[in-house]
Chains A and B, each alone.
Chain A
């Protein structure tokens, strides 16, 4: 691979990739124009600039190379399933191996295949150097030393010796030190090397030289370890006869789950989301989605999540096949399933605890719907309705992963914002409800501070016996004044209280029967329409 596609406009100009190497910036790779001008890999950038002042350079990025090669590997799967990435190291640049054994005839022969690869690579914006030979070693040599940009090299079957012997020893994938020693000894080409006796070569250089030579000539097998395609986690089951019974579907689902769980176990993953698809004989399909709060790999648990939904399944004329797809996974370490017989040790019980709860929450969510299983949350706000909220029971945010400032605010709240026991009602109405006060003077008690003698709410009249207050709660003045463009109908009292920064005076009151209420009074009228005393008392909560 010469240049990555983003630099395609520079293809005609001298262009090189540089990398820092032992204190000097050196050329890591150069395109054909640059090489023609004398800029070869290994040259320092200063020297290269002296040779070609207009040299365009870009820094090497091995990570991006890897990503690009992965993408190309996926692309090259069109030619053969047996693929590998070759040599992402400093020597010779990286490349792809394609083992086209038994594949070439599909593309009209080896030459045609080479041309097809060349053409398609060009269309993708790459310039490729392609070599084709009997052995990986020979193909490597052909691609790097025999081929040029746009002219693939094909070594005919069994003729490595004749075609490649003129090449220099750099075609052998040897380490730089070995290469240098060989050159010093005057061994410059493969032909020089081939006439040398093997025993002294091995004594002098170890196995390396002979091995590479044998691999090139095909005397030693060099297997490629292919990058296998990552198969999606899908399991499918076909029935010879359409099935209709729920029991059969359940049994099949168990089998599917089992097979997926075994695969996930190998990959150390757990299921977060699953789709179960049911295909009927009349070409209709149903899908059931389930999700889990934590990664799960237990057939029994997953099966129970489905069982809540499988009951309502309509089999129609019969079910032809079933498919189970994992749409989301999370990493999950392998764990030992329970093996202890008899009583469980304490440590295991501790690790077990919390898991049952997670599974219970999953089951509840599967049946009740997502977001229906919640935990209460106390928030840092002095406004009662904002001080409480709900979060999903298994959400991450709940597990002390709040950002620092939020947690600090919560801590602050928990320190001195935490309510005095009994100061807040057990029930807080979602919206404060307007109450009808009994006019003052009808049955006022002279001995106690009473804001009002009584009120009626939801068609019940309550006469008050005692009261405590007021607790004045200012609104969120920083939210600004009311937007004036809203119509009066829209401006319910509650939005006025909440958005308008209205001050509320809360009273805890007790009726003659003993029931306790949390009432508030708006000391400042918000609208002309509620300026009178009548429309300024609201019920917000109920005490025990």
Chain B
């Protein structure tokens, strides 16, 4: 599961100890797999760790200026819908968003097709970001909530993020911070940071639109390495798959070993 293999047992024990301190998952039920080997293998936990905070940033340049991040919103909605099915007994998603902003234009029927049905979703419309953060923290501590999504326009301070991260650890709930665009790469208390942007789709054999494609970038990841993929999102099965060119190439590569070409210039410090 870990990227580095064949190390001494001492180092392994140390690693375990650090993980315990950091409160990151050890068991399989604390992990949400993407169902896509390439991504799951890149993440040190074999999937998205639960009970912690994740940061998802929209990367649709032109749209982000208007405050929209449809790709990032759909990505998060998909993940939470999966999370909901994985955790059957507590299946409510709390979505905290500021009122009268672009974030508050979510369309119910579309969320429903993604798997977030009417019963599963509760929206909290906050007056400002302070209220939204308070609502997120309350939601993260609630045992009936499986995931909390917070749509925010401006980047959070490290202290605020840390607070949410602690609340997530305490409540065993997964939090997603959703931002339309990233102002600057700042320090973050979140365990992972993703950048999601629309990518041109492959033209289908018939007239019309092809499958939706996203450029999915793992900007930072605690204990892991940044990475970037172009994934295709299948509406019908609600599943990801690697976009065709990458798929073809990955056949003659060892799994989990990314080529230099795949890595983007977004490579920065490894958290």
Using a CB–CB cutoff of 8 Å, the interface residues on chain A facing chain B are: 349-350, 353-357, 359-361, 363-364, 367-369, 372-378, 384, 387-390, 393, 398, 418-430, 448-449, 458, 460, 462, 465-468, 508-510, 512-516, 541-544
Contacts and interface: CB of A to CB of B under 8 A. Distances in A.
B118 A377 contact: yes
6 contacts: A357-B142, A368-B131, A376-B106, A422-B113, A430-B105, A516-B209
A376 B126 contact: no
A428 B73 CA distance: 13
Nearest to B75: A544
A356 B62 contact: no
A376 B136 CA distance: 18
Interface stretch (B25-33, B44-52, B231-239, B247-255): B231-239
Contact of A427 (B70, B92, B118, B209): B70
Given A374-B125, A513-B198, A360 B208 contact: no
B127 A368 contact: yes
Nearest to A509: B209
Interface in B57-94: 60-63, 65-66, 68, 70-71, 73-75, 77, 89-90, 92, 94
Given A419-B113, A465-B200, A466-B201, A377 B125 contact: no
Interface string B109-121: 1111110001101
State which size class the interface on B falls in: 35 or more
Contact of A357 (B112, B145, B214): B145
Contacts of A393: 122-123
Contacts of A398: 118
Given A376-B108, A419-B110, A466-B208, A426 B70 contact: yes
Contacts of A508: 209
A448 B238 CA distance: 27
A322 B114 CA distance: 50
Given A421-B235, A512-B200, A543-B212, A368 B110 contact: no
Contacts, number: 189
Contact of B102 (A359, A372, A427): A427
A467 B109 contact: no
B166 to A, nearest CB: 18
A465 B126 CA distance: 38
Nearest to B125: A372
Contact of A377 (B77, B108, B139, B200): B108
A412 to B, nearest CB: 15
B144 A424 contact: no
A542 B68 contact: yes
B22 interface: no
A128 B144 CA distance: 62
Nearest to B120: A375
A353 B197 CA distance: 37
Given A387-B109, A427-B107, A515-B63, 6 more contacts: A368-B135, A372-B126, A373-B125, A384-B107, A513-B198, A544-B74
Contacts of A377: 108, 118
B240 to A, nearest CB: 12
B139 to A, nearest CB: 7
Nearest to B66: A458
